[in-house]
Amino acid sequence: MKDAEATSPVSFEVHVARLPQKGLPVVVEADEAQRRALAAAHGLFSVESYRAEMLVTAWKRSGVKVSGHVVADITQSCVVTLQPVAARIDEAVEGVFLPQDSKLARFDQNGEMLLDSEGPDSPELFTGDTIDVGALAEEFFGLAIDPYPRKAGATLDTSSLDGPEENEFQKKLRGLLGKV
């Protein structure tokens, strides 16, 4: 995880060895250069604002829990018209981290971490005494971006696809489907 975190435009490392009893509040507010880097990293026209507010607390004996919100105003490209589409992101941020050598991480005999598909996400492992909470907030920011933004009222004209002539792709596809 350390390598991915180092590349985050909003990287903010927190020393977790001695967290305050009530937790450590962290606010990451992106400046103009960071917002440009976020836009480039996520394929956006622009990021007008970006703010992550998190609380980093001790979890169990040696773990760390991060919780909070990331709020951002972004501009994307409409998938139909390619015109700018404004969007607001307001996403919860949650993460649990365990040191690499923690006995709380459950592993099987092959060194694979055991996961419960019905339970909460597994803790992420970290080495050293810092975690990058800025990179964690960016992950949740990225997951909240609509992959298919559409400008209000935008429609795709499909009338030319309904014509009587089949193109080569359609002929091949029909041939493949007929063999199934």
**Pair of tokens at residue 150:** 């559409």
Half-sphere exposure of 25 (CA within 13 A, CB side): 2
Other beta carbons within 10 Å of 94? 14
Reported as type and span, the H/E element at residue 99 is strand 84-99
Q: Judge whether 45 and 76 are in contact, CB under 8 Å.
A: yes
What single DSSP character describes residue 129? T
Global pTM exceeds 0.85: no
Residue 145 is predicted with a pLDDT of 96
Question: What DSSP state is assigned to residue 43?
Answer: T
Burial 21-31 (b: 16+ CB within 10 A, else e): eebbebebebe
pLDDT recorded at residue 143: 95
Instruction: Report the length, in residues, of the chain.
Output: 180
> Which H or E run includes 35?
helix 32-41
Task: Report yes or no: 75 and 86 within 8 Å, Cβ to Cβ.
Answer: yes
- The per-residue pLDDT string of the chain (180 residues; one tens digit each, 9 = 90 and over) reads 444 445 799 999 999 888 998 999 999 999 999 999 999 999 999 999 999 999 999 988 888 999 999 999 999 998 888 889 999 999 999 999 988 776 655 554 455 555 555 555 677 888 888 999 999 999 999 999 999 888 877 766 655 555 556 677 777 777 777 665
